[in-house]
Each structure stands twice: as structure tokens, then as C-alpha cells.
Amino acid sequence: MATPEFLVPDWPVPAHVRAAVTTRRGGVSRGRFAGFNLGAHVGDDAAAVADNRARLAAALALPAAPAWLEQVHGREVAVLPRATPAPADAAVTFAPGEVCAVLVADCLPVFLASRTGDRVGIAHAGWRGLAGGVIEATVAALGGEPGALVAWLGPAIGPQSFEVGDEVREAFVARDEGSAAAFSAGRDGRWHADLPRLARRRLAALGVDDVRGESPCTYSDPDRFFSYRRDGATGRMAALAWLA
């Protein structure tokens, strides 16, 4: 069985700030979910998902089980530890041993951490979440000066593959005219949207000016990444962050 593969942020934070995002390589899932599917809600065999999650915990030496969220493409932020589960699309923690996690398969995982290593968070930023303010909500939940935070952008669907309608472009441009630069004309009156560029713009507006990550395209690399836009029914990668 192949060893699970991870992408690890290259960012200037203390060593006890840990973060990683999985690929689809490794794991035991089969068919359209092959191999390292970590989503329990996509129709994969439950035993395979449980096995994959156990492999995830072992490979990363996680201090606790990830706090899996009920993701709804919104802006709610879970502050860990929390007493009861609730829909959320981001998580933050100030406590060592709590593992923030989001599941992605084209949406952009946005990692955030303080330079001093006392707080960490992660946001699930598809276009709805970005337009709705999930990054702003996550930065607010982390507290302190935004300029003291460092961000890293994980893999997401690239602009060459992400065609959207006028309503998506308008959702951004109505709030920020400069975001029009993140859209280029596509076929039949549609637009190519650049999620990482939109995220960088939102972060810059907040004062988070140290943003890392090249955001490889999930859609164009089926060997390495799950992509909902490409495949429909498919698995999910996990993006995780915690304080050791």
C-alpha cells in the first residue's frame, strides 16, 4: 500500500505550528474515490474512509482526531475546542493538541498562523465562501493584528479550469471593483475565476501581507488530486493545522 502523500506549507512560523494537506495518493479507497479519500459524506465505503483516516492520523502523528466540520460553503468559524458540532467552513485554535481540518476537492484551503506560533486556523474557501467573507471571519476569530499572521494557500482549481457565470463575478465586483482583475473572459459569455488571486486580494485588504503557496491546480492533475468540477462524484483531500 502506497504511503500517503502530503503537501506541507513553507512559511515562516515556529516549528510547533504544524500543517499539511493531503493528495489522493495512498489509502485504500477504490473506484472513483481511489485512493486516499478522507470524506465520509461522498458515498465511499465507510470502512475504507475509516481506514484512510486512521492512516492520516498515524502518518502525521496527530495529537488528536481532527475536528471534522459540517461544511456548507458559508463563513462560520469553529473555535476549538468546542462543546458541540455545528455547520462551519473554518476552524481556529489557540490550544495545543486541537486539530483544525477542512475537506476540499477544488475549493481553496487557506492556512493562517501567527508568527509567534500561538494561534492557527484554516478556511475552506470556494467562491461562495470567499464572496461571503470566510477569510475575513477566520482572521477575526484568530484575533490580534492581521499583519502578525502568515497565510499559505493550498491546492485548488486553477483559473484555466474554473468557468463561472456573471453572478459569480458580480458577487465579488459588487463589493470590490478591483476584484474584476481576477476574472478573464471565457466561452459563451462566461468567466474564468482565479480563486487564489481573489483570496490574496481579500487577505491584503485585511492587512495579511505575507501570503505563500503556489496553489497547484486540482482539476488538471487527476493523478494527484480529487476534483469535484472534473469528476462529479469523487473523494476529498484534507487540509489540517494544529499546535504541537
Segment 111-159, tens digit of pLDDT: 999 999 999 999 999 999 999 999 999 999 999 999 999 999 999 999 9
pLDDT at 159: 97
Distance CA 170, CA 203 (A): 19
Region of residue 59 (phi > 0: left; psi between -120 and 50: alpha; otherwise: beta): alpha
Residue 177 belongs to some domain of the structure: no
In this structure, what CATH number is given to the domain that contains residue 105?
3.60.140.10
Residue 142 belongs to some domain of the structure: yes
Report residue 110: phi and psi, to 5°.
-110, 110
Distance CA 55, CA 38 (A): 10
pTM, to two decimals = 0.97
pLDDT at 1: 60
Residues of the chain with pLDDT under 50: none
CB 45, CB 29: distance < 8 Å: yes
pLDDT at 69: 96
Domain tally for the chain?
1
